[in-house]
Amino acid sequence: MRAALPIALLTLLPVAAVPAPMRAQEAGRSREAWVTRVQCADGRYPAAWAEPSTEAPPAAAGDLLATALTVLALLGDGTTTKAGLFQAELQRALGWLVAQCDDRGRLALRTDPDWLLDHAVATAALAEAARLCSDPALRQRLDAPLRVLAGHLQRAGRSVAPECLLWCRIAARSALRSAELRGDADDDDPAGALAAAVDRLAAAVLGVDADRDTGAADDDADARALAVRILLRSLAPDREPGAPVPELERLVARLSEGAWPELTDDPLALWYATLAAYRQGAPAWRAFERGLDELVVRTQLRDGPLRESWAPRGALGERTGRVGTTAVHVLILELYYRYSALEPAS
């Protein structure tokens, strides 16, 4: 049985996806929805947002990641730059992301070690927006950020962080799908170069191109590292949706023994693992589905100035605050109603 729709998802989903008795109830307050209330005038979604205020929160290092995750959540509910209840909010957020790109393709460049991952997530968000909004101008702007990622993978080699590798794969897949759907895929396309680099490194770093058992090492891995490996392996180009991933089966076994806090304390880890389970299907998906009502739906705030949001948790909460945490929880719940945008173009 599907979990009940939370408030934030009701205000994000298009009318056709909202249960009929709730449409009128939500319609009158749509302009007061979370994604409207917390957005700054410049279009960003601020990591430093704490509570309603007449002043915009100061810029923070986590703004790039918080905004990119919120863009993905908006796209996941069906909003585009051409249609949808939150069309204007999405346009402003994309405008802010594009404005962060310098003349070398780097998005909101920083010197801290988290920047490259944030750049990869933001590139994936722009790629999804270009594809789902059928925006050729935005797709053209993607070339430089994609080249930045490909250049980093070439320099880093096997020392690349697996989570960055995962988001490089997501960005490349989305950009390639956009090109395939338009019929203008090119061997020199930066997305193709990035995808090839990811495939080479994934094989070397994680062994994701082979169905080999990684053994008991999973038992010692932290939740996010394990979830990253599971999803990266699930998205390997030669793996069909539904093909079993041994690490995921072992994670499900750990969850059945009470290991849920390992994932719920890190919303991104929960999203990675839930998406992998969704792609694999039963019985892994049923195990996650049973836990989402208590762990996600019931933890959303329903009243007060923070209504429709989730409290910051773990490393993601420290970096992106309530805004980024809420976006990831919405992404998790959208898996119920949206076919994954990460599937092959066919």
- Based on the structure, what is the number of domains in the chain? 2
Q: Is residue 98 part of a domain?
A: no
Q: Which residue has the higher pLDDT, 291 or 83?
A: 83
Q: What is the mean pLDDT of residues 231-254?
A: 84
Sorted by sequence, the CB contacts under 8 Å of residue 203 that are 6+ apart come out as 209, 210
Confidence of residue 180 (pLDDT cuts 50, 70, 90): low
Considering 250, 270, 291, which residue would you say is the last residue of a domain?
291
| Mean pLDDT of all residues in 329-335 | 90
Q: What is the distance between the alpha carbons of residues 339 and 346, in angstroms, rounded to a whole number?
A: 13
In a domain, residue 40? The reply is yes
| 179 occurs within a structural domain | no
- Do 308 and 332 share a structural domain? yes
**What value, to the nearest 5°, has the Cα angle with vertex 148 and ends 146 and 151?**
110
In terms of Cβ atoms closer than 10 Å to its own Cβ (0-12, 13-18, 19+), residue 216 is exposed
Q: What is the pLDDT of residue 207?
A: 59
* Helices 162-182 and 143-156, packing angle to 10 deg: 140
The whole domain housing 231 covers: 219-291
Mean pLDDT for the chain overall? 81
Q: Residue 135 domain-assigned?
A: no
Task: Quote the pLDDT of residue 265.
Answer: 85
Residue 87 lies inside a defined structural domain of this protein: no
Q: Are residues 310 and 346 in the same domain?
A: yes
Give the model confidence (pLDDT) of 280-314 as tens digits.
888 888 888 887 877 888 889 888 888 889 999 98
